[in-house]
Structure 1
């Protein structure tokens, strides 16, 4: 795990310091090679889960991707659904299912479909959703996609089902960014929300930290040490082109996008200690936001862009504060616990996720901002870098599970968790991207 150079606390988790750029010890840590492909393992039981059957899609036995399995895994990972046995049935989107049979199997809803390889090599994917209880056809969709987009089509089917049955937008076709360290090589990955289909955006022999998605999902800001110091870049995900944004004297770190997509909040030490600034995403002269003798870092914007949450040790130990996006007098937000770092604010503005030191370990906590009520939602003790899904219903975070680095997702109550991590390697710094345009 990351080690702070300034030893305010002998901890395995040091996002507070790493995002200041003080992670030289990271480069010396030997780890096993990281795996780009993840396996989803869902655990836990929610209070209310909708029972759904996803019948095997006609033709998927000869498809490179098992559409029905991907859709079911997505829905189960959300914590809102429980899979019902759908074996032994041969159905497609044109079938009129025997709904009494599915009621006997305790399913409230049923998805059926087909996947067909076309002459040009593309695949025709179709599905239909049924309300088993009411006997209603809830509609369906079709996609014609190249082989490489079969998983994306599956995720969009899961999004459709999720929205039809919950009334809220699904997040399965969104993307996550994360960093791995394999040997002496660091890689910034962009992957599907289930961790699969990972594509390398950047590889470097020097550390890469703090990836942050722009509000439209087209760009990633991150910190690279390739110049032997922390420098902020912005990377175009589609083209792979990047531009230098902040390379001032001292440390340049912790980029966070404003919702306008044209501004970044960053932590700079150009004028002495680590302080918060804003800077155009194209670069230029930064504007200072905080004026303190303490360490101010890890800024994040509220969804409406009016507020910045950040970490400061101005009270003697790291705590989370907030202030107006243009600066002003900060207000302390966290009061339970003596060491709180890595804030993430939900898109609906209701929740703050962060990491708190508890008995020498580091655990993911969620605060309801309106009431200040706080709940620890993990059993692990090396949690890092929480990031909300764009529908505010799930959190992705890094941790260590059974002795291995892992990426996890969890519901806000901690009752449904999914492990996204590979079998070996140092996997960290997740950030959940925004909704994708269809």
Structure 2
């Protein structure tokens, strides 16, 4: 019986991994320009972190977490989302005490959610995200959105839609919550069991329900925008004005609530409108989470961030027919003839690699013709041939595959010679 990858997981093979590396390097460069620094956090955390940080009423906590007990009887959970996992070290290592505020962090991380696998939504998913903690300036909200849009634009995506909303502050949220309870209570028995529970725990979650999304009561539900107090309304207007100043188009959707309990004020999603992308169009989403740092034991510290699914980013690039430039050509392939040449090849490979040259050789004991075929399969730019004649002369034959031109080069000068050749090609 052959063992296959678990359901909801996928192997990223070398050819695909090269595309991931290209995307990640582009995103890292955007983060550098926006002055974000990388953070790396554990794959698993204490379960309480997500119960408190994400919220007991969310589907993630109630249905989707991979939770287990270790040998010490502690309840641990594989990381289902990024924000709580970044806020925890922010509090633990007292980054809020750094003189450089706000703290601007980014991460690449694997997340784990037990849900029905489908294209672009796996049980093990790869995510890029950013978090800014330490500023309540609405310009920060706009900057985070701008960074996400820049990541997509610089990879070539054009069929994008930005949707934003305001969830208001605590006062606005409380008033809206009461209005939702009054509105949905008469229809309680018509809703799914999850929404019946949400009506008590967090009625805002009802607006995010996929089962009851077509219920007539959803269309007439009270809008949060009608319950924003003056401060919340002014905050949202500033965010919108900054987006306009940056030339970023957006739509306001009062039903956009996101799937996590910690959000307040600005919430947003970026969607793909590319033809054939699929029914689930969301590429990235996030928002402000003032209060989460305090919930996890830190001082009062405002924060905002987003998560971007890398599998869905690759899907969007494919839907828009954007080719990722991946150079898989090999700089040099070393062909050897005879036992002595094979021994010397070890030092040649070592010396050239130390000089930054990409080179490989045959390790299957093939004849010279088969070695040249291997060089072709690797798309080698140059083939270096070392045989008995070359050994006697202290030279090596260098063949440029694109032109067929050949030169005999001293072994002592080979590294400098190849660096010059490859530098001109680049």
Give the TM-score of the pair, scaled to structure 2.
Answer: 0.25
Say which structure is richer in strand: 1
Higher Rg of the two aligned structures? 2
Say which structure is richer in helix: 2
